[in-house]
Amino acid sequence: MTAQLLDGKATAATIKAELTERVAALAARGVRPGLGTLLVGDDPGSRWYVEGKHRDCAEVGIASIREDLPADATQEDIEAAVRRLNEDPECTGFIVQLPLPRGIDTNRVLELVDPDKDADGLHPTNLGRLVLRVNEPVTSPLPCTPRGIVDLLLRHDVDLHGADVVVVGRGVTVGRSIGLLLTRREINATVTLTHTGTEDLAEHTRNADVIVAAAGVPGIITADIVKPGAVVIDVGVSRATDPETGKSRVVGDVDPGVLEIASWVSPNPGGVGPMTRAMLLTNVVDTAERLAG
């Protein structure tokens, strides 16, 4: 068996095409969604990430709103920028690019974000709404990476109803939040959350229909701990040095040998990453549509 690839790039391109049509429909009603970003400092990786988001906006017709602050910005400076984005009527949703400089109270900054403008879908209020709404529709922003994973699977006709899903990793971005989506009645999966402290990881993964690997540990998911025919989502991101070129490259949590065992595998990079960015745009457009009635 050779696994089929869950192509996040192609799927994200389809989603962007759909969003372009939705944004055009909003424009016909005099509404334009706007994505804001708050970037503090000049970290090359963070700047590259933010600029990529604004390129995505231009591609689908969403307005870009930027708050760029110097690395020596104070807590008060950063909180003032959050308030400006909260109050800006042109801003439908925004993100605070992390990490913030040392000495800044990150949790305080994030909790100041208006939950209705939380483009990442990770504000405590929005996660709390997701916890409470098991049956009824969720009308607040959803966490981007978990939403992207679920959408990637459903668009490839992977049946999650009643599936045994094992999540590896307990971070807020994926591990702690994806179960909230997967166990909603409309999806109806059974979710086990494991992590690097789990004593016998293989005991859980060998019985899983779907594995979501989000531990940030290179190669933690190997072929011998995957059930034949399972679906494996590679989310974790680490960097390793290529022994031939000496250059740093991105590596995931899934060992290449899994391709010979699984039925579907998401590549890393090229799988979940593009879906996360597409879901950020989707949250912004969803919010604009709700505001427009």
Helix, strand, coil shares, percent, the chain, to 5: 40, 15, 40
Distance in angstroms (rounded) separating the CA atoms of residues 4 and 265: 6
The active-site residue, picked from 53, 209, 227, 253, is: 53
* Residue 237 known to bind ligand: yes
Q: Are strands 190-194 and 210-213 parallel, antiparallel or unpaired?
A: unpaired
CB atoms within 10 A of CB 114: 16
CA distances from 4 to 18, 112, 205, 255, 263 (A): 24, 43, 19, 15, 6
Q: Which residues, 6 or more positions from 199, have their beta carbon under 8 angstroms from its beta carbon?
A: none
Distance in angstroms (rounded) separating the CA atoms of residues 213 and 132: 26
Give yes or no: 247 in active site: no
Q: Which residues, 6 or more positions from 56, have their beta carbon under 8 angstroms from its beta carbon?
A: 16, 62, 277, 278, 280, 281
The active-site residue, picked from 7, 97, 151, 209, is: 97
Nearest to 257 by CA among 281, 285, 223: 223
268, 252 contact by CB (below 8 A):
yes
Distance in angstroms (rounded) separating the CA atoms of residues 17 and 21: 7
* Residue 169 known to bind ligand: yes
* Residue 8 known to bind ligand: no
Give yes or no: 75 in active site: no
The active-site residue, picked from 7, 56, 118, 120, is: 120
Residues annotated in a binding site for NADP(+)? 169-171, 237
Which positions are catalytic?
Answer: 53, 97, 120
Residues annotated within a binding site: 169-171, 237
